[in-house]
Chain A
Amino acid sequence: MIRTPLRPLASVLKARESGENPDLIERENRRLRLEADRDRARARAETRLLALALIFMSAFFVLGARMALLAATEPLEMSRGFQEDISSARADIVDRNGVVLATNLATHALYAETRRMVDPARAARKLGEIFPDIDVPRLEARFTDPARRFIWIRTRLSPEQQQAVHEIGEPGLLFGPREMRLYPNGRMAAHVLGGASFGQQGVRAAEVIGVAGAELYFEERLRDPTQVDVPLHLALDLTVQATVTEVLEGGKRMLNAHGATAVLMDVHTGEVISLVSLPDFDPNARPAPPTEGEPADSPLFNRAVQGYYELGSVMKTFAVAQGIEAGTVTPQTMIDTRGPLTWGRFRIRDFRNYGPELSVKDVLVKSSNIGTARIMQPIGAEAQQDFLRRFGLLEPMPLEVSEAARARPLLPARWSDLSVMTISYGHGMSTSPLALAAGYAALANGGRKVTPTLVKQQGRQVGEQLVSPRTARAMQLMLHQTVQEGTASFARIDGYPVGGKTGSADKPDGRGGYKKEAVLATFASVFPAHEPRYVLVVTLDEPVDTTGSEPRRTAGWTAVPVSAEITRRVAPLLGLRPVRLSQADAAFELRP
C-alpha cells in the first residue's frame, strides 16, 4: 500500500520559498489521513451491526415459526405405540347407543430369535404340544437353519398360551406386544363390520387394518391418530340387529331357505338400523374367500348390498308410482288385464286370471303383471330409465361398506319396449335389497330421495324431490291396502299397521331362462303404514313352506310372515306405540 507522505518534498520546498510554515502541510495531511481512517472504521462497524441484526432477526423468525407450528399442530398423547413408526391404534366402533361393536385388545405375538436359543429341538417339541397345528419337524428345521435369525411363530396368543410358552423357559422365544381387533358380539352385524387383520409387522407393534365392510371403508378415519380416542358411531342398533337376526334365522330354518337378508332403514334419515345377511360368519375368525363354487353362496357375501337380483313384483310399486306421477293414471283408473299379453314372441301372464279389468289400485293389490305392463306401455323406455335413475336404481347403491362399490345392477343391453314391460314387474333388471329399501324409503317419506347410510345422523336428509308428496301419499295408501286386502295379508299385525308389496321372482337358471322351482321371495314394507318411519325389506332365497298340502313358494307365504314377525318384535324396540287399525284408516282419510 502506498501511503501519501506527510511532508511531500515538493510542497514543503514551495512553502519554504513563500515563507509559509511547512508544519501546516503536515498537519493538514495528518488530518486527512485520520478522517479516512475514521470513515473506514465506521463503515466496518455499520456492516457488523447489520450482520448482527440480521442474525438476531432470523433467530427470532425461526423461533416464532417454530412456536406457530407447535401451536397449530394437534397435541398427541404419548403411548407405547407411538415410539415406533408402526401404530397399532384403531378407534372403536360402537352402535347408535354406544354399545361396543369392535374394539382393540392388547395381546402378544410369539417370535423366536434363533441365535439366543439354547435347545431348539426341545423348544420345537414343546411348542408342538401347546399348539397342536404346528408342524414340529419343520419348525425345528427352521430353528436350526443358520440363515434364519428371526421367525414369527404366532400372531396372537391367549394369556394361557403365553403362560405355557413362558414355562418352556427358552430364552430365544420372545413376545411382541400386539393389538388385536375384537368383535365382542360374535356373528352379530358381521357383514357390516367386515373384519380386520394385521398389516405391517414390527417387533414392538403391528398395524391393525380393516379387510372388509365398514372396517375397510373407514380405514383412514379409524386409524387417524387425532381421532383414535373417539369411537365411530354407526347407525345400527344392536338390540334391533340381534332381534332381526334371531327372527330371520328362525324363518330361514323353517322355510329351508338357502339364504336370507333383511334391511331396516329409517325413511327420513336414511340410517340403516339393521342389516342382516345369512349365512353369516364370525368376524373374529373371518373365513378365507371361497376358491370354488358360486361366490354368492359364501358366508362372506353380503346379500343385502352385493346381492343384485331380479326381485319381481316389489318393483311394481315404482311402475305404479311413475304412472300416477306422470298423470296418465289415477289409483281408480281401470286397466285392461285380459291375458296373456302378447308382444312379439313373448307372452306376459298373471299368476292367475284376474278378470277383464282391474283398477290401478287393484293391479298393485293383486299384483297383476299385465296390469303394470299396460300402465308402463304409454310412458316408454326413456321416461322409465330416467325415473329409475333418479331413484338410484340404475347405479350401485352407495353404503359405507367396502363391498358396496363393487356390485352393480344388471340392466338390459337394449332398453326395448319389451324391457319396459318386464321391468315394470321386476324382471330384466336386478336390484339389491338395500337399493329397494332406499327406493321405498323415498316413497314413504313423502317423495324425497334418501341415501342409505351406516353412520349415525343428526337430522333428516332433505334430498331431491323424486315424486310429489301427493303421489307418495297415494302409494302409501295402496301399500297399506295391499296388506289389508291383497297378497301380503300375513303382514297384518295387531297394533302396527304395515304397508308393503310382495315379490316372488323365479331365479335365473344361468342359461337365459328361469328355474321352475326356485323362487326369490321378497317383502318390502313400511311401518307404521299411515305415517311411515321405517322401511323393512326381507328377502329369502329359495324358501319353501311345507306346512300345507303342497309346497308354497310365493312371498305371501314365506317372506311376509317372517317380515311380520320382525316388525312385531322390532317396532316396540324402536319406540313405536301401537295404534289401532281404525286410527290408521282415519289418518289416511284425514290426509289422503
Chain B
Amino acid sequence: MRTLLFLCTALSVIALAAWAYRENHLTRQAMNEQRALNVEIASLTAALRIQRAEWAYLNRPDRLRELVDLNFARLKLVPITGEHFGEIGQVAYPMPEPRSEVVDAVEVFGTFEHLAGTLPEPEALP
C-alpha cells in the first residue's frame, strides 16, 4: 500500500514537471509572438499615420481650391452661399406614377448592339 502511494506520488511529480516544462515553453512562445505582434502593430500604426497624414495633406484646403479652379469648366463648383439654400415650397410635389399601359408591344430579340443606330444617342434626349 505504502509502495503504491510512493509510486503515485513519484508519477504525479513527473507528470507535473512535464506539464510545467511544456507550459514554460508555451509561455515563452506566446511572449515571442506577442513581441512580434507588437512590432507589427507599431509598424502598422506608423503606416496608418502616414496614410492619414497623406490624406490630410492631399485634402488641404489650398490644394482643393486649386483643383476646383482647374476643373471649373467641368465641375462648375462655387463656394456655398445663402442662395444655395432652397425652401420646402420649391420642391415639386411628386407626380403620381403613370400607369403603364403597354400598347403595340413588340418582342425584341438580340443584344443592344443590334439596336445601335436605330435609337437616338442618349445625349440627344431632352
Do A and B come together as binding partners?
A: yes
Distance between Cα atoms of A239 and B62 in the complex (Å): 11
Instruction: Report whether A572 and B56 are in contact in the complex, using a CB–CB cutoff of 8 Å.
Output: no
Known: A185-B60, A496-B82, A568-B81. A105 touches B53 (CB 8 A): yes
Partner of A103, one of B35, B41, B42, B56: B56
- Shortest beta-carbon contacts, A-B, top 10: A495-B82, A242-B61, A578-B82, A184-B56, A100-B56, A184-B57, A79-B42, A78-B38, A572-B80, A185-B60
Give the residue name and chain of the B residue nearest to A187 (CB). B62
Known: A106-B46, A568-B81, A578-B82. A246 touches B65 (CB 8 A): yes
Number of B residues, CB within 8 Å of A: 26
Interface residue SS majority, chain B: helix
A-B contact pairs, 16 of them (CB 8 A): A79-B41, A79-B42, A79-B45, A100-B52, A100-B55, A105-B50, A182-B57, A184-B60, A186-B62, A188-B60, A242-B62, A242-B65, A495-B85, A496-B82, A571-B82, A572-B85
Give the residue name and chain of the A residue nearest to B35 (CB). A78
A294, chain B: closest CB distance, angstroms? 29
The residues of A that contact B38 with a CB separation of less than 8 Å are 77-79
Instruction: Report whether A185 and B79 are in contact in the complex, using a CB–CB cutoff of 8 Å.
Output: no
Give the residue name and chain of the B residue nearest to A238 (CB). B61
Within 8 A of A (CB), among B30-84: 35, 38-39, 41-42, 45-46, 49-50, 52-53, 55-57, 59-62, 65, 79-84
Instruction: Report whether B82 and A103 are in contact in the complex, using a CB–CB cutoff of 8 Å.
Output: no
The residues of B that contact A155 with a CB separation of less than 8 Å are none
Distance between Cα atoms of A242 and B60 in the complex (Å): 9
Within 8 A of B (CB), among A45-91: 77-80
Give the residue name and chain of the A residue nearest to B80 (CB). A572
The residues of B that contact A78 with a CB separation of less than 8 Å are 35, 38, 42
Distance between Cα atoms of A104 and B62 in the complex (Å): 21
Q: A33 on the interface (CB 8 Å rule)?
A: no
The residues of B that contact A106 with a CB separation of less than 8 Å are 46, 49-50
Distance between Cα atoms of A164 and B39 in the complex (Å): 27
Give the residue name and chain of the A residue nearest to B34 (CB). A78
A336, chain B: closest CB distance, angstroms? 42
Q: A573 on the interface (CB 8 Å rule)?
A: yes
Distance between Cα atoms of A390 and B42 in the complex (Å): 51
Contact string, A473-494, partner B, CB cutoff 8 A, digits 1/0? 0000000000000000000011
Contact string, A95-106, partner B, CB cutoff 8 A, digits 1/0? 000011001111
B89, chain A: closest CB distance, angstroms? 14
Q: A414 on the interface (CB 8 Å rule)?
A: no
Number of A residues, CB within 8 Å of B: 32
The residues of A that contact B81 with a CB separation of less than 8 Å are 495, 568-569, 572
Contact string, A9-28, partner B, CB cutoff 8 A, digits 1/0? 00000000000000000000
Interface residue SS majority, chain A: mixed
Distance between Cα atoms of A184 and B35 in the complex (Å): 32
Partner of A573, one of B56, B62, B80: B80
The residues of B that contact A79 with a CB separation of less than 8 Å are 38, 41-42, 45
A434, chain B: closest CB distance, angstroms? 23
Distance between Cα atoms of A219 and B101 in the complex (Å): 73
Distance between Cα atoms of A321 and B121 in the complex (Å): 69
Distance between Cα atoms of A494 and B62 in the complex (Å): 27
Contact string, A234-273, partner B, CB cutoff 8 A, digits 1/0? 0000110111001000000000000000000000000000
The residues of A that contact B57 with a CB separation of less than 8 Å are 182, 184
Partner of B42, one of A80, A105, A494, A569: A80
Known: A78-B38, A578-B85. A105 touches B49 (CB 8 A): yes
The residues of A that contact B83 with a CB separation of less than 8 Å are 494-495, 578
The residues of B that contact A494 with a CB separation of less than 8 Å are 82-83
How many residue pairs, one in A and one in B, have C-beta atoms under 8 Å apart? Answer: 74
Instruction: Report whether B61 and A239 are in contact in the complex, using a CB–CB cutoff of 8 Å.
Output: yes
B28, chain A: closest CB distance, angstroms? 17
B124, chain A: closest CB distance, angstroms? 37
The residues of A that contact B82 with a CB separation of less than 8 Å are 493-496, 568, 571-572, 578
Instruction: Report whether A100 and B53 are in contact in the complex, using a CB–CB cutoff of 8 Å.
Output: yes
A216, chain B: closest CB distance, angstroms? 21
Q: A577 on the interface (CB 8 Å rule)?
A: yes
Contact string, B105-121, partner A, CB cutoff 8 A, digits 1/0? 00000000000000000
Known: A77-B41, A106-B46, A572-B80. A185 touches B85 (CB 8 A): no
Distance between Cα atoms of A569 and B79 in the complex (Å): 7
Known: A243-B79, A568-B81. A103 touches B49 (CB 8 A): yes
Distance between Cα atoms of A185 and B54 in the complex (Å): 11
Contact string, A141-179, partner B, CB cutoff 8 A, digits 1/0? 000000000000000000000000000000000000000
Partner of B56, one of A99, A104, A241: A99
The residues of B that contact A493 with a CB separation of less than 8 Å are 82
Known: A77-B41, A78-B38, A246-B65. A182 touches B53 (CB 8 A): yes
The residues of A that contact B35 with a CB separation of less than 8 Å are 78
Distance between Cα atoms of A239 and B38 in the complex (Å): 37
Distance between Cα atoms of A74 and B55 in the complex (Å): 32
Having A78-B35, A78-B42, one finds 14 other A-B pairs with CB under 8 Å, namely A77-B41, A79-B42, A79-B45, A100-B53, A105-B49, A105-B50, A106-B46, A184-B53, A242-B62, A493-B82, A495-B83, A569-B79, A577-B85, A578-B82
Known: A185-B56, A188-B61. A572 touches B41 (CB 8 A): no
The residues of B that contact A577 with a CB separation of less than 8 Å are 85
Instruction: Report whether B60 and A186 are in contact in the complex, using a CB–CB cutoff of 8 Å.
Output: yes
Instruction: Report whether B84 and A103 are in contact in the complex, using a CB–CB cutoff of 8 Å.
Output: no
Distance between Cα atoms of A232 and B73 in the complex (Å): 39
Distance between Cα atoms of A572 and B78 in the complex (Å): 13
B65, chain A: closest CB distance, angstroms? 7
